[in-house]
A and B are shown apart, each in its own frame.
Chain A
Amino acid sequence: MTRVARRSLMAGIAALGAGACSKIDRFATSETGEGLFDTAEGWHREAHRILAGRQALAPEYAPEDRSPSFKGNGSLTVDGPIYREQLAEGFPDWRLAINGLVENPLRLSLDELKALPQRTQITRHDCVEGWSAIGQWTGPQLSRLLDTAKVKPEANFIVFRCADVLYGRRYYESVDMVDAYHPQTIVAHSLNGEPIPEKNGAPLRMRIERQLGYKHAKYLTAIEAVASLDDIAGGKGGFWEDIGNYQWYAGI
């Protein structure tokens, strides 16, 4: 009884007398509520873009600033004998497809990716939960792959397809063209000078350095240029966006 009273009191204060907690929860999931949240988040994204510019870099650190280890979170492996076998052998048969709205679709092996010009960056990884880890990542810039594949002008988003399955759904993520062509956006194959460990997304993981960790798709199998995100999976542009209503723009 007191618990209920206290609940109502707190929520009542939060709404400044507008009503009880159920109303607040209903507001958050109503069209008005979601519209309000989307507007606020759109303003954050616009403010970030205006203040930082399209190409501004996330801070890079010195080797001694790295964290002693790099936490794995979310999917920690890919189920199935094929992945286990590939992991044991160093992924000789793993292919990264670059397709969708491109004139020249590609299918690249790890060796082919490593033969491209590489970018190495020591950056901080911020999880939406609040923790941070610092590691050194190496791989080709996504912009180079997209230029080689010749992205068509009607493409508005780049979708990252993954091998891992969580809660019965295949992981995926997406970014707009600004982050896709950002200089620090790389297809990483190494962490701290070693092949990426299993828990961190072996053999390939995206680095989207100006956004939170859930954007950094692991166990990468394909990169797809699309005009709209509406028809992909749940239509919200990513696994956590679909399943938990997480923000598509993860720069906040």
Chain B
Amino acid sequence: MKPRHAISTRIWHWVNAAALVVLFMSGLGISNAHRYLYWGDYGFDPADAWLAVMRFPNWATLPQRYNLAEARDWHSAGAWVFAVALLAMWIAMLANRHFVRDIAAPPSAWSPASVWREVGSHLRGQFGAETGAKYNTLQKLSYGLVLGVLLPLMVFTGLALSPGIEPAAPWLVEALGGRQSARSLHFIVAFALLAFFVVHLAMVLVSGPLRQIWGMIAGGREEPRGKA
């Protein structure tokens, strides 16, 4: 029988999860080195900052003490795993039609009214997918947003921060509004992903956590199609 989750999806899910934890925690350590965010090309004076970021406590950072060099080591090693895995996942889910069949949502689903309606039914505990669909509309939208926008943005805003990349792709830094804007966006998108992670975890917890987690490891069974 065909598993609910393809092997490529399962491998990517856990590799990506591990990479994101390493990147997020080492990123908090890097943030502690200069806790101010700016817009534009330059920025060094806290008076010009649009946000003074909190000092992240040691338990939240990697390593678990202030060490910028080691945090950068983790971050630049984790970045390879994260970016290469994301590219592989995109190739796989276009090749096995997972994206087109299960994730892509029609433009009408992105309208504020539709999103609002879906959030409402979620809050009432109705998570069922439409007949023949693997994911419900809100899942499609959030997975599409994460895979198509937020995760790629982390790669591109991250690349834009490397002075060694800029001579190859000056347009990238320009498109993001300058290096300090890229740094601010890198930070904002990282926390958007944290928000996704929290909701994702909560949804797993309320929808049969053991079955869901085991499904993402062993593959799981294709659920009977239809509105739950």
B residues with CB within 8 A of A: 14, 17-18, 21-22, 25, 30-31, 33-34, 36, 38, 41-45, 58-60, 62-65, 67-70, 72-74, 76-77, 79-80, 161-170, 173, 179-180, 183
Contacts and interface: CB of A to CB of B under 8 A. Distances in A.
B18 A132 contact: no
Interface in A173-214: 209-212
B21 A244 contact: no
Contact of B165 (A52, A69, A127): A52
22 contacts: A3-B59, A7-B59, A11-B64, A28-B74, A37-B77, A40-B76, A41-B77, A52-B164, A52-B168, A56-B167, A58-B167, A61-B41, A128-B68, A128-B72, A129-B34, A129-B68, A130-B33, A130-B34, A131-B36, A131-B44, A247-B73, A249-B164
Nearest to B26: A14
Given A43-B80, A129-B34, A132-B44, A59 B173 contact: yes
Contacts of B179: 124, 126, 132
Contacts of A110: none
B159 to A, nearest CB: 10
A59 B166 contact: yes
Interface string A112-138: 000000000000101111111110000
B165 to A, nearest CB: 6
A85 B215 CA distance: 74
Given A24-B63, A67-B42, A247-B73, A127 B164 contact: no
A45 B163 CA distance: 11
A247 B69 contact: yes
B170 A132 contact: no
Interface of A: 3, 6-7, 10-11, 13-14, 16, 21, 24-25, 28-29, 36-37, 40-41, 43-45, 48, 51-53, 56-59, 61, 65, 67, 69, 71, 124, 126-134, 209-212, 240, 244-247, 249-252
Given A16-B18, A132-B42, A132-B44, A251 B77 contact: no
A53 B167 CA distance: 9
Contact of B164 (A3, A40, A211): A211
Most A CB atoms within 10 A — which of B21, B44, B163? B163
Given A129-B68, A130-B34, A131-B34, A57 B167 contact: yes
Nearest to A8: B59
Contacts of A51: 165, 168-169
Nearest to A240: B69
Contacts of A130: 30-31, 33-34, 183
Contacts of A13: 21
Contacts of B80: 40, 43-44
Given A10-B60, A16-B14, A40 B167 contact: no
A45 B59 contact: no
B162 A251 contact: yes
A40 B77 contact: yes
Contact of A48 (B30, B67, B165): B165
Given A67-B42, A124-B42, A210-B164, A25 B21 contact: no
B41 A124 contact: yes
A71 B191 CA distance: 29
A7 B23 CA distance: 17
A13 B24 CA distance: 12
A134 B170 CA distance: 16
A56 B163 CA distance: 12
Nearest to A4: B59
Given A24-B64, A244-B68, 20 more contacts: A14-B25, A28-B70, A29-B70, A48-B162, A52-B165, A58-B167, A59-B170, A61-B41, A65-B41, A124-B41, A124-B42, A126-B163, A131-B36, A131-B180, A134-B41, A245-B70, A246-B72, A247-B73, A251-B164, A252-B76
